[in-house]
Amino acid sequence: MPERPLALFAMSAETLPHAFPPDVLARLRASVDIDPGLIADGGFDDPAVRTVLAEAEVLITGWGCPAIDASVLDAAPKLRAVLHAAGSVKSTIAPGLWDRGLVVSSAADANALPVAEYTLGMIMLVGKDLLTARERYRTLRTFPLAEIVPGIGNFRRRIGIVGASRIGRRVIELLRPFDFDVSLADPYVDEAEAAALGVRLLPLGELLAGSDIVSVHAPATDETRHLIGAAELALMPDGSVLINTARGSLVDTDALVAELRTGRLKAVLDVTDPEPLPADSPLFDLPGAFITPHLAGSQGNEVQRLGLCVVEELERLLAGRPLSHQVDPAALERAA
């Protein structure tokens, strides 16, 4: 690539200033010729966008990126790389892109970090039964001093991780300093890999039956739809907690509501099916359900980490060094 090749932003105009605040944008513009006032937002049909696209060697994409299909690729004969300041590129990149030898990088690892942090925080909180205790204290306005509350605490708490995705692996890593007993269920992981991760590999049913807290991190595919259904929920011990920060479709919502209504289980849900929930969903009112509005992923100041990841990848690309986050097309089928 020549010095400061031409590049184009393809994402929502709302996303761009969060992912590329002034300092990150300045670093980006030191490497490529890019106009932050020209964005392919909603499509590539704008004449000014088409003019730049015809000469662009790099697309800087992100949330809200229009589909990069064959017509876009035909209009960008000099394109060499797509650097995605977000997670999955599965719904953005047309299969034909890989046949043209383009390099694709994604900030999925950067976006995985806040999800894993959220999950760790929730595991620690539900292990102390904080959610229930808070409501009890708010209702009663008192509590017995020096009481030792049985059944709570994080010492040797059994944690089940469903899915050794990049987020699942990051959660496992974050759990290591604590006194947890961690198991993993993933059909694509073998015993040797599980041992390297420092966890026990179990069949899903055995993991569900033997965990106090189950955290879901599998990708959303046809194969994993309702991976956690009525039969799976029934295996979970009384008083156990299900955490889902992956995709709502992995959990059968109706089956979960039925279990929560009995008071036997609790759930922490950052994602739901459908999403957003209908206003009359019982999940809003069930005391065993703690619902957050899909905020585990990058939010606020965390979004600039995605832009910074892209800038660092671009600098590697221009220096001829291997990319740290290059997307493997063969892995997309099993990705979220």
**Do 149 and 256 fall into the same domain?**
yes
**Do 150 and 254 fall into the same domain?**
yes
Is 247 assigned a catalytic role? Answer: yes
| CATH code for position 266 | 3.40.50.720
**Do 115 and 257 fall into the same domain?**
yes
Structural domain includes residue 53:
yes
Structural domain includes residue 227:
yes
Structural domain includes residue 1:
no
pLDDT at 94: 80
Pairing of strands 58-61, 103-106: unpaired
Task: Give the model's confidence band at 336: pLDDT under 50 very low, under 70 low, under 90 confident, else very high.
Answer: low
**Do 41 and 101 fall into the same domain?**
yes
**Do 55 and 102 fall into the same domain?**
yes
Structural domain includes residue 324:
yes
* Six-digit token string for 151: 């059944």
**Do 148 and 31 fall into the same domain?**
no
Structural domain includes residue 158:
yes
Is 275 assigned a catalytic role? Answer: yes
Residue ranges making up the domain that contains 272: 111-291
Single out the residue of 304, 188, 183, 200 nearest to residue 240, CA to CA.
183
Q: CA-to-CA distance for 336 and 331, rounded, in angstroms?
A: 10
- pTM for the full model? 0.93
Structural domain includes residue 91:
yes
**Do 115 and 196 fall into the same domain?**
yes
Task: Give the model's confidence band at 56: pLDDT under 50 very low, under 70 low, under 90 confident, else very high.
Answer: very high
Choosing from 166, 247, 305, 325, the catalytic residue is: 247
Choosing from 14, 135, 223, 275, the catalytic residue is: 275
Choosing from 50, 200, 226, 294, the catalytic residue is: 294
| pLDDT exceeds cutoff 70 at 131 | yes
**Do 42 and 62 fall into the same domain?**
yes
Number of structural domains (the chain) is: 2
Which one-letter amino acid corresponds to residue 254? D
Q: Which of 10-19, 130-139, 165-174, 301-310 has the lowest mean pLDDT?
A: 130-139
Q: CA-to-CA distance for 248 and 109, rounded, in angstroms?
A: 21
